[in-house]
């Protein structure tokens, strides 16, 4: 079940897996402020590689400074070859190319949380 709430999005599964809460932000600044004000553990950041005010790798670095151990999954509409070749993202980072299916996103999120 996906529920939109004032503070973000709440995602709850009914298939035996433990519930996960998802917080959303409209940009890098809001994401950083959300992390600063969020008291619960944060396990994963899903971010676009290229954004208007701050790139995904810079955002991830700032969030990992605030919350060491946060895993990061990057996504982009650019091909992985373009993203890695042009230096937007260093090799070895988890990456999901847009568009993607819900099943592909679920697989990548599980992979990111296992690493």
Quick: pLDDT tens for 25-79. 888 999 999 999 998 899 999 998 888 889 889 999 999 999 999 999 999 887 7
Quick: pLDDT tens for 13-23. 445 566 677 88
Which residues form the domain of 103? Answer: 2-114
| Structural domains counted in the chain | 1
- Residue whose pair of structure tokens reads 């990111």 in the numeric block: 112
Burial of 42 (0-12, 13-18, 19+ CB in 10 A): middle
Cα dihedral angle (61, 63, 65, 67), rounded to 10 degrees? -140
- Residue 47's beta-bridge partner residues? 74
Supply the pTM of this predicted model: 0.79
């Amino acid at each position: 079940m996906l529920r939109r709430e004032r503070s973000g999005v709440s995602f709850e599964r009914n298939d035996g897996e433990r519930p996960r809460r998802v917080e959303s932000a409209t940009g890098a600044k809001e994401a950083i402020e959300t992390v600063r004000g969020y008291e619960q553990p944060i396990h994963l950041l899903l971010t676009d590689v290229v954004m208007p005010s701050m790139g995904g790798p810079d955002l991830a670095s700032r969030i990992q400074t605030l919350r060491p151990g946060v895993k990061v999954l990057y996504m982009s509409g650019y091909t992985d070859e373009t993203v890695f070749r042009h230096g937007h993202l260093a090799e070895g980072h988890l990456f999901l190319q847009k568009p993607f299916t819900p099943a592909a996103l679920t697989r990548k999120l599980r992979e990111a949380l296992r690493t």
